[in-house]
A and B are shown apart, each in its own frame.
Chain A
Amino acid sequence: MPFMNALVDIVGADRVSNDPAELFIYSRDSGAQPPGRADYVVLPKTAEEISRILVLANRDKVPVTPVGAGLTLSGIVVPERGGIVLDMKRMDRILEVDEINRYVVIEAGVSQGALREYLKKHHPRFQHSTPEAPPTATVTANALIHGHGHISPRYGINSDMIAGMEVVLPTGEITHIGACALGGKWFSRGPMPDLAGLFVGWYGTTGIVTKISLKLFPKPKFRQVIVFQTDDIDLLPEAIAEIMYLDMAEDFFLIMQEKPDWMNHCFLVVILSGHFEAELALKKEAYQRLLSNFKGDDRISFVANLHPALEKRFLDVPPLAALAADFRKGGGFQYTGAILPIDQVPAAWRRGIEIAHKHGMVCSYVHQVLLGNSIMFGFNYSFNRGDEADIERARLALAESNRTTLELGGMIWKGEKSAQQMVLAKMEPHTARFIRRVQECLDPNRIMNPGKWEVP
């Protein structure tokens, strides 16, 4: 049976396409990376359908690339070698919320917006960690790429919040990870060999996650943004360390924009929350006390009259970050998400400004502190999608930011293909080979999102 007919046989004619229009859309993402080539687009609804598709793909050695909302921007959903793109968003059911054991089980295509609204309506005392990405982004892909959300500075990155998974292995077996593998509740993924690590950070090269359980967290009634400002970049590592040591922040960003002038400072944006107003007031006072006269000379000052638009931007979950990302008004944006040790912030700060200027851009920063151990340092590049030369400039700036990240001892988060190659080239060889052995073991025909994390 021709391959297309076999796919139709599995999912029905309405959920598979090889029309040029769909192939065009699913061959590219919104970032600055070049397009690939999709041959088929499928909208699966169940793990069983995916299992059958993978068996078929193995039979004919056809590549399979899963995509959520495709908003990682770095081309990691772009099918490099043709084959099937699986758009996971048709699997959009919220299956279970357990308030007592504090987890939610969803299908892989549930969007951030849908989960947030569902919890707000039906379980208003609980929340999940929501990234600044557009609300169409899928919750599962975000957890799988080590994403981070609005409560990550307090509770950890989103992959740490995975409490269980259903995964279809590349060879088609449907497996479960965590307590759900024992037929129990989806409340925890340990204490057993932690198989989740075989699928987190792999960009779909080791299997397709079809269900995920995520931890839920209390949703305090009151929230407030407080902002401090400094021009002394060298002060940042210690200031960040102390803010995190105080251990009362829900969220914590560093932002800077070269234009307009009033934004051309380093702003430390701390989001506080509390179940009671008095709790919030106490936290605010604690931070004001901590940072007043920090290291002498008022080098960090409290921003008393915060612009309402800024306040809204940081209280909205998710915020309209795409609006800010398009700061050059050309419809294009990509960033190097450098996961850096906190002590490297001043060096990265200076290098980022140099890189932006070298490529004729103004610098604009939004960095999020993750727990107390690292920072997601965003080297942000906005570009004009209508101008190939501008896109190329963004690519060059990204490549330079990726190199800088590695030089500073950091890691590149959800990097594009060239960034992955840089990481693998720097990686100690046994580790790189270990990655390849895992892929070969799980995916003997190497059909899964080929070209990603490809160890030479």
Chain B
Amino acid sequence: MEHEEILHRCFRCGFCKLPSDYGSLNCPAYLKYRFESFSPGGRMWLIRAWLNGQVRTDPRLQEIFFSCATCGNCVEHCIFDKFRESILEAFIAAKAEMVHQGTVPPPVRDYLTRLLAHGNPYKMPQKKRGQWAKELGVPSYTTDAEYLFYVGDVGSFDGRGMEMARSVARLLLKLGVSFGILGENEGSDGNDARALGEIELFEHLAKRNIETFRQAGVEKIVTLSPHGYNAIKNDYPRWGGNFTVRHYTQLVDEILTPDGFPGQAGSGSVRKATFHDPCYLGRHNKDYDTPRRVLDRLPGIERVEMPRNQGDSLCCGGGGGNFFTDLVCSGPDTSAAARVTEAAETGAQLLVTACPICTVMLEDAVKSKNLEQRLQVRELSDLVLECMGG
């Protein structure tokens, strides 16, 4: 297995399950299950034992391997610089081994099967991919446009994700960005298939997208989701997919000027907002500042920070395919529930994020924690639009 050589180096000291102040638990899988087997160190030891034949594949081991939300907290906080960068890659490699053996938990199998058969996990026909944009006046991509707006599965098919896709598209239109979409020609970015260890499927999806982008003459891409951004930025170049790619917040940050808010400056009451870093924008791509800069430009918004922010951010639990497979997303001790509680404790009325998966996860958690009266989850583009007068 790839990265097998690092496994015995794990001391089981546990820094990897904490944020940098050591005051709380920051691994979503460990936070939910609380057995050491679900902690990053426990995983390191179990993968080694599994490869050595000391433990065998069974439903529990599958649950352990696939509950990793690929949030990257362990990579950020393991104290051993020589191998920490490879920890998460080792976890993904172990999942890949299980995928290879055809022994994955049923929800993972179902997700991957749907993705393979339908090109998306929602079992939706490909021709419906662009439907979210109906009646919005979003043009199809041509080489006349500067950017391809890449939407991805959640933005194309999930109810809340589609709202977010519309809001980002409206914002880009309002800011005068020259862009178009591929609609039914767009394919899944494959980021979460890779996170689940289905490397071949990921490669297939990535290559197909690269080919489509090339044929359409795409050079610059702006993405809705940090997940798609991550795959296109960090993995597609391996197969010759070299595009200039930005997450939409980065483009908005570049274009949005203070005079974009006519008549708003200084008027009305101030709302406190706290930003939740999506793992694939933050820890995986180290962009913590851009969304905060955008937030800071909004009139009537005062930014406050949660104790766990930036590299210490607590994942919503939806990464690593868990949004679809639900392994760490249910029960009383989910990271999303801990996250919205932490947000509410800052006194913020708005919990802002910039990822369709985080948005759905956190909105659900606000409801399950009965925090609707205190805290509203807002997707950043939607908040920017509101501040610009709709």
A residues near B (Cβ < 8 Å) are 14-15, 17, 19-22, 24-26, 29-30, 41, 43, 69-71, 87, 89-90, 111-114, 116-118, 120-121, 134-136, 320, 322-323, 325-326, 329-333, 384-386
- Asked if A136 and B15 make an inter-chain contact with CB atoms under 8 angstroms apart, the answer reads yes
Q: Considering the chains assembled together, what is the distance between the CA atoms of A114 and B37 in angstroms?
A: 21
Find chain A residues with CB under 8 A from B17 CB: 136
- Asked if A22 and B14 make an inter-chain contact with CB atoms under 8 angstroms apart, the answer reads no
Q: List 29 A-B contacts (CB under 8 A).
A: A19-B58, A21-B55, A22-B35, A22-B60, A24-B45, A24-B49, A24-B55, A25-B35, A25-B36, A25-B37, A25-B46, A30-B12, A30-B13, A43-B35, A87-B36, A90-B34, A113-B22, A114-B24, A116-B22, A136-B17, A136-B22, A322-B15, A322-B79, A323-B80, A326-B80, A330-B8, A330-B9, A331-B8, A385-B8
B residues near A (Cβ < 8 Å) are 8-15, 17-18, 21-24, 33-37, 42, 45-46, 49, 54-56, 58, 60-61, 64, 79-80, 82, 331
- Asked if B18 and A136 make an inter-chain contact with CB atoms under 8 angstroms apart, the answer reads yes
Q: Which 9 A-B pairs have the closest CB atoms?
A: A113-B22, A117-B23, A136-B14, A386-B8, A135-B22, A19-B60, A134-B13, A331-B9, A322-B13
- Asked if A17 and B35 make an inter-chain contact with CB atoms under 8 angstroms apart, the answer reads yes
- Asked if B79 and A20 make an inter-chain contact with CB atoms under 8 angstroms apart, the answer reads no
The verdict on A135 contacting B18 (CB below 8 Å), with A20-B58, A26-B36, A323-B80 known, is yes
- Asked if A21 and B9 make an inter-chain contact with CB atoms under 8 angstroms apart, the answer reads no
Find chain A residues with CB under 8 A from B42 CB: 25
Closest B residue to A135 using CB positions? B22
Given contact pairs A24-B54, A329-B82, A331-B8, a sample of 13 additional A-B residue pairs in the complex whose CB atoms are under 8 Å apart = A19-B58, A29-B12, A70-B36, A89-B34, A113-B22, A114-B22, A135-B18, A136-B18, A320-B79, A326-B11, A326-B80, A330-B8, A330-B9
Find chain A residues with CB under 8 A from B12 CB: 29-30, 70
- Asked if B55 and A20 make an inter-chain contact with CB atoms under 8 angstroms apart, the answer reads yes
The verdict on A114 contacting B79 (CB below 8 Å), with A22-B35, A136-B15 known, is no
Find chain A residues with CB under 8 A from B331 CB: 14
Q: Considering the chains assembled together, what is the distance between the CA atoms of A6 and B18 in angstroms?
A: 33
Find chain A residues with CB under 8 A from B8 CB: 330-331, 384-386
The verdict on A331 contacting B10 (CB below 8 Å), with A87-B36, A323-B79 known, is yes
Q: At the interface, is chain A mostly helix, strand, loop or mixed?
A: mixed
Q: Considering the chains assembled together, what is the distance between the CA atoms of A69 and B56 in angstroms?
A: 25
Q: Which of B13, B17, B21, B46 has the most CB of A within 10 A?
A: B13
- Asked if B56 and A385 make an inter-chain contact with CB atoms under 8 angstroms apart, the answer reads no
Find chain B residues with CB under 8 A from A333 CB: 11
Q: Which of B14, B18, B24, B54 has the most CB of A within 10 A?
A: B14
Closest B residue to A113 using CB positions? B22
Q: Considering the chains assembled together, what is the distance between the CA atoms of A26 and B60 in angstroms?
A: 15
A150 to chain B, nearest CB (A): 14
Q: Considering the chains assembled together, what is the distance between the CA atoms of A71 and B15 in angstroms?
A: 12
A76 to chain B, nearest CB (A): 15
A36 to chain B, nearest CB (A): 14
Given A24, A43, A116, A332, which contacts B46 in the complex, CB threshold below 8 Å? A24
A72 to chain B, nearest CB (A): 12
B9 to chain A, nearest CB (A): 4
Find chain A residues with CB under 8 A from B36 CB: 22, 25-26, 70, 87
Find chain B residues with CB under 8 A from A117 CB: 21-24
A275 to chain B, nearest CB (A): 24
- Asked if A30 and B55 make an inter-chain contact with CB atoms under 8 angstroms apart, the answer reads no
Find chain B residues with CB under 8 A from A136 CB: 13-15, 17-18, 22
Find chain B residues with CB under 8 A from A22 CB: 35-37, 60
Q: Considering the chains assembled together, what is the distance between the CA atoms of A256 and B10 in angstroms?
A: 25
- Asked if A71 and B64 make an inter-chain contact with CB atoms under 8 angstroms apart, the answer reads no
Q: Considering the chains assembled together, what is the distance between the CA atoms of A25 and B14 in angstroms?
A: 14
Closest B residue to A15 using CB positions? B34
Find chain B residues with CB under 8 A from A15 CB: 34
Find chain B residues with CB under 8 A from A89 CB: 34
B46 to chain A, nearest CB (A): 6
Find chain A residues with CB under 8 A from B49 CB: 24
Closest A residue to B307 using CB positions? A121
Closest A residue to B22 using CB positions? A113
A20 to chain B, nearest CB (A): 5
Q: Considering the chains assembled together, what is the distance between the CA atoms of A273 and B309 in angstroms?
A: 31
B222 to chain A, nearest CB (A): 39
- Asked if B35 and A113 make an inter-chain contact with CB atoms under 8 angstroms apart, the answer reads no
Q: Which of B15, B36, B45, B55 has the most CB of A within 10 A?
A: B36
The verdict on A111 contacting B22 (CB below 8 Å), with A24-B49, A322-B79 known, is yes
Q: Considering the chains assembled together, what is the distance between the CA atoms of A118 and B54 in angstroms?
A: 40
- Asked if A21 and B80 make an inter-chain contact with CB atoms under 8 angstroms apart, the answer reads no
Find chain A residues with CB under 8 A from B15 CB: 134-136, 320, 322
Find chain B residues with CB under 8 A from A30 CB: 11-13
- Asked if A113 and B18 make an inter-chain contact with CB atoms under 8 angstroms apart, the answer reads yes
The verdict on A20 contacting B13 (CB below 8 Å), with A25-B36, A41-B35, A384-B8 known, is no
A308 to chain B, nearest CB (A): 17
Find chain B residues with CB under 8 A from A25 CB: 35-37, 42, 45-46
Q: Considering the chains assembled together, what is the distance between the CA atoms of A134 and B22 in angstroms?
A: 10
- Asked if B46 and A21 make an inter-chain contact with CB atoms under 8 angstroms apart, the answer reads yes
Closest B residue to A28 using CB positions? B45
- Asked if A43 and B13 make an inter-chain contact with CB atoms under 8 angstroms apart, the answer reads no
Q: Considering the chains assembled together, what is the distance between the CA atoms of A19 and B80 in angstroms?
A: 30
Closest A residue to B33 using CB positions? A14
Q: Considering the chains assembled together, what is the distance between the CA atoms of A30 and B37 in angstroms?
A: 14
Find chain A residues with CB under 8 A from B58 CB: 19-21
Closest A residue to B61 using CB positions? A21
- Asked if B14 and A134 make an inter-chain contact with CB atoms under 8 angstroms apart, the answer reads yes
Q: Considering the chains assembled together, what is the distance between the CA atoms of A146 and B234 in angstroms?
A: 50
Q: Which of A14, A17, A320 has the most CB of B within 10 A?
A: A14
